[in-house]
Amino acid sequence: MGFPYDEASWSAVDGAMFMGSGTTMPGMYTAIAAGICVLVLIYGQASEMRKARQFD
Amino acid sequence: MEEQIAEMALKIAALEEAAGGGGGAATTNTVFAETFYYLTIPLMIIIHAGFLAYEMGASRLKNVLSSGVKNILAFAFIIPTFYFFGWWVYFGFPTGWDFAEGPNGISGAAFANSIAWGWGESAQYMGPNIADNISGVFFGAFALFAATTASIMSGAVIERIQTVGFVILAVILGSFAWVVAAAWGWHADGWLVQDYGLHDFGAAGLVHAVAGFFALGVLINLGPRIGKFNADGSANHIAGHNMPLTVVGLMLIIVGFWGFLMACVVPPGEAWSWFPDKFSTIYGTPITLSALSFNILMGVAGGIIGSWVLTRDPFWMMSGALAGIISVASGLDIYYPALAFIIAFSAGLLLKPLANILERMGIDDAVGAVTVHGTIGLYGLVMLGVFASGFPALQGAAGEAPTISLMGQLVGAGVFFLLGFVPGYVCSLILRILGMLRIPEGAEIVGMDRVKVPAEGYPEGIPAPGVVLNPAE
Summarised one tens digit per residue, pLDDT across range B16-45 is: 665 555 667 888 888 888 899 899 999 999
What stretch of H or E contains B266?
strand B265-266
Which residues lie across from B281 on neighbouring strands? B265
**What is the C-alpha separation between B201 and B393, in angstroms, rounded?**
10
A52 found inside a domain: yes
Residue B210, Cα to own-chain centre: how many angstroms?
10
Residue B324: per-residue pLDDT = 98
In a domain, B464, yes or no: no
The Cα–Cα gap between B252 and B54 comes to 9
The predicted structure's pLDDT at residue B142: 94
B200 to chain A nearest CA, in Å? 15
Report helix angle B178-185 to B135-156, nearest 10. 130
- Band of the pLDDT at A15, cuts 50, 70, 90? confident
Residues facing residue B229 across a β-bridge: B235
> In this model, does residue B119 exceed pLDDT 90?
yes
Q: 10 Å Cβ neighbour count for B7?
A: 10
pLDDT value at A1 more than 60 = no
For residue B338, which residues of chain A lie inside 8 Å, CB to CB? 26, 29-30, 32-33
Q: What is the SS3 string spanning B85-114?
A: HHHHHHHHCCCCCCCCCCCCCCCCHHHHHH
Buried b (16+ CB within 10 A) or exposed e, B73-84: bbbebbbebbbe
Residue B293 lies in a domain: yes
Question: Is B201 part of the contact surface with chain A (CB cutoff 8 Å)?
Answer: no
Kindly report the nearest CA distance between residue A55 and chain B, in angstroms. Answer: 15
Q: Is the pLDDT of residue B398 over 50?
A: no
Mean pLDDT of B252-257: 94
Residue A16 included in any domain: no
Q: Please indicate, yes or no, if residue A1 is contained in any of the structural domains.
A: no
User: Could you tell me the residue range of the domain that residue B355 belongs to?
Assistant: 32-452
CA angle B288, B294, B298 (to 5 degrees): 150
A40 and B308: CB-CB below 8 Å?
Answer: yes
Give the pLDDT score at B63: 96
Return the CATH number at B361. 1.10.3430.10
Residue ranges of the alpha helices (H) in B116-159?
135-156
Chain A residues with beta carbon closer than 8 angstroms to that of B387: 19
Using 50, 70 and 90 to split pLDDT, how confident is the model at B104?
A: confident
B7, part of any domain: no
Contact at CB, B390 and A5, closer than 8 angstroms: yes
Banded pLDDT at B277 (limits 50, 70, 90): confident
Q: What is the rounded average pLDDT for all residues in chain B? A: 92
User: Within 10 Å of residue B59's Cβ, how many Cβ atoms?
Assistant: 30
Write the CB contacts of B434 (distance below 8 Å, at least 6 apart in sequence): none
Grade residue B473 by pLDDT with cuts at 50, 70 and 90: very low
Residue A15 lies in a domain: no
Domain annotation covers residue B280: yes
In this model, does residue A7 exceed pLDDT 80? no
pTM of structure: 0.92
Compute the average pLDDT of residues B460-465.
74
User: What is the reported pLDDT for B313?
Assistant: 94
Nearest to B223 by CA among B78, B13, B365, B93: B365
Sort out which chain B residues have CB atoms less than 8 A from A8's CB and list them: 390-392, 397-398, 401, 403
Asked if B286's CB is within 8 angstroms of A33's CB, the reply is: no
Q: Which residues of A touch B (CB under 8 A)?
A: 3, 5-11, 13, 17-21, 25-26, 29-30, 32-33, 36-37, 40, 43-44
Instruction: Please count the CA atoms within 13 angstroms of the CA of B150 that sit on its side-chain side.
Output: 34
Give domain status of residue A3, yes or no: no
Would A51 be classed as within a structural domain? yes
Query: What value does the mean pLDDT take over residues B278-291?
Result: 92
Kindly determine whether residue A36 and residue B391, on different chains, have CB atoms separated by under 8 Å.
no
- Measured between CB atoms, which of A11, A19, A33 is closest to B341? A33
Is B136 contained in some domain?
Answer: yes
Contact between B336 and A20 using a beta-carbon 8 Å cutoff = yes
How many domains is chain A built from? 1
The set of residues, in sequence order, having a beta carbon less than 8 Å from that of B376 and lying 6+ positions away, is: B204, B208, B323, B326, B327, B347, B350, B351, B354
* A8 falls within a domain: no
Query: Would residue B350 count as lying in a domain?
Result: yes
Range with the poorest average pLDDT among B260-274, B292-306, B404-418: B260-274
A27: nearest CA in chain B?
A: B338
Domain housing A46: 23-56
Specify if A49 maps to a domain: yes
Mutate which of A5, A9, A28 to disrupt the B interface (most B C-beta within 10 Å)?
A9
Q: Does the structure show a pLDDT above 60 at B291? A: yes
Q: Which residues pair with B265 in a beta bridge?
A: B281
Residue B47 has pLDDT above 90, yes or no: yes
Q: Which of A20, A33, A43 sits opposite B342 (nearest CB)?
A: A33
Q: pLDDT at residue B304 above 90?
A: yes
The percent of residues in chain A predicted with pLDDT above 70, rounded, is: 96
Instruction: Say if the Cβ atoms of A10 and B286 lie within 8 Å.
Output: yes
How high is the pLDDT of residue B216?
Answer: 98
The verdict on B38 touching A (C-beta cutoff 8 Å) is no
pLDDT digits (tens, 9 = 90+) for A31-54: 999 999 999 999 999 999 999 999
pLDDT in tens, B210-234: 999 999 999 999 999 999 999 999 9
Establish if B195 belongs to a structural domain.
yes
Give the whole-number percent of chain B exceeding pLDDT 90.
81
